[in-house]
Structure 1
Amino acid sequence: MLLTILGCSGSLPGPHGPASGYLVEADGCRLAIELGSGVLAALQARHDAFSLNALLFSHLHPDHCADFTTLAVARRYHTHPPYDTRKHRLPVHGPSETADRFARAYAETADELLTTDLTDVFEFHTLVPGAVTRMGPFQITATRVDHPTEAYGFRIATKDATMAYTGDTGPCDGLRALAQGVDVLLSEATWTHSDDRPTGKHLSGVQAGQLAADAGVGRLLLTHIAPWTDRDAVLAEARTRFSGPVEVVSQGDTYAVDELKVRVIGGHGN
């Protein structure tokens, strides 16, 4: 399993990189998780945008899905002869309002708000908490998490590796089961820890580190750090709670994940 960081800036794109976006690959299958602002450009710098096999969205805040409409333009109006996007629609898995919300975002006029339909090039699937979805070599389990909108974390497994992605969430009961024993936990850590932070929104470095320790993960990767948050401070917080390998990801990093180890094979590293 390969994990590539296409974007990792929390809440909005930062001065040096896109918002949330991740690419997971195994056995020739490419799964994109999130498509926030700037992520489609980062994807195209590495791969053909038409090479995705599926898209997965944890929730529908713009920093996680804003580039979907530009992908829709590509799939509807491309002149790319090898690809017939109407015969081979791209599976899109997301919260219950995904198809409607994306269609409205794509609509070109007010009159089209209720009539735009993107199912000509996309195949929409609604996430079901606790259900296991098979996407090529990936076995994906969605868990509801604590955020102001319908939001999910994901546990992703192949025959050789396991990873968990928290999505955006505050501390909640589902996170520990989601992350239990995985090789890699990709956890949001939007801000530094403070008792006066609002609940039900995000994790701090302390909370991400505690989650990794409680779940017994192999390695902790911190992401979704807001541009105004000190990355080094968040990393230091996580290390006070988790004694295993931990780092802050950077846009462009690629990780090889298996049952025994995780190693950085490209990008900046931290």
Structure 2
Amino acid sequence: MFTPEQIARFSELDYIIYNYVTKHANEVVYMRIRELAEEVHVSPPTILRFCRKVGCDGFSEFKTKLKLYLQQNERSFITNAQDTLTEFFERTLKIDYQQTIREAAAAIARADNVIFVGSGSSGILAEYGSRYFSALKKFSVYIKDPFFPIYGHYFNNCVVIALSVSGETSYTLSQVHRFKEKGSTIISITNRKHCSLANMSDYNLTYYVNTEFVEQTNITTQIPVIYLLESLAKEMYRMLNKPT
């Protein structure tokens, strides 16, 4: 309902209104402007100025947006985990991942350095991916810090495996851009094909599951990412240990 940019511009009186609205949202949607003004001990014009600061023409529009926001949160629906897993594997049978996996695994096998990047839940899986690849004798590291310094002489013959559900996470895109400038090969795993991260990558694996949110938190399943990471790692291991 309120963006960080809007909150940063609040005055002391705005914060009083903001704190009351966030604690009593279900009551505010039925109040008149004068009633809210009396509750927070400010004037009606102060309420109107607050509404304009958060992108509303007036108090009526503010209440409408607040009501829609509350309804959206009430409708949060969590997909059954078994249904999600079944859906993914059914789709997997229809998509030929193997060629892309073989090509990406070959690039990893040739690389001197493998670096995983991601943030949020994707950052946790970046850590898992680096651990799994290292267990299969390809030493890997992960970066979850979006401000981690990147210098070219550290990343000769480097493969970067970038993880992002949306493929539009600004921190991840910024890191991948810096690696790409240094000549790294980029492999991405995303939930959709048409996204910035996929377009920046040399190889992309897309898993296509329903995106899920609880309020502002992305809870989209990460099961397909684990499947694809392990498939990549095992294919790479077979290549590295193929009899000559």
TM-score, normalization: structure 2? 0.29
More helix by share: 2
Bigger radius of gyration: 2
Looking at secondary structure, tell me which structure has more strand per residue: 1
TM-score (norm 1): 0.27
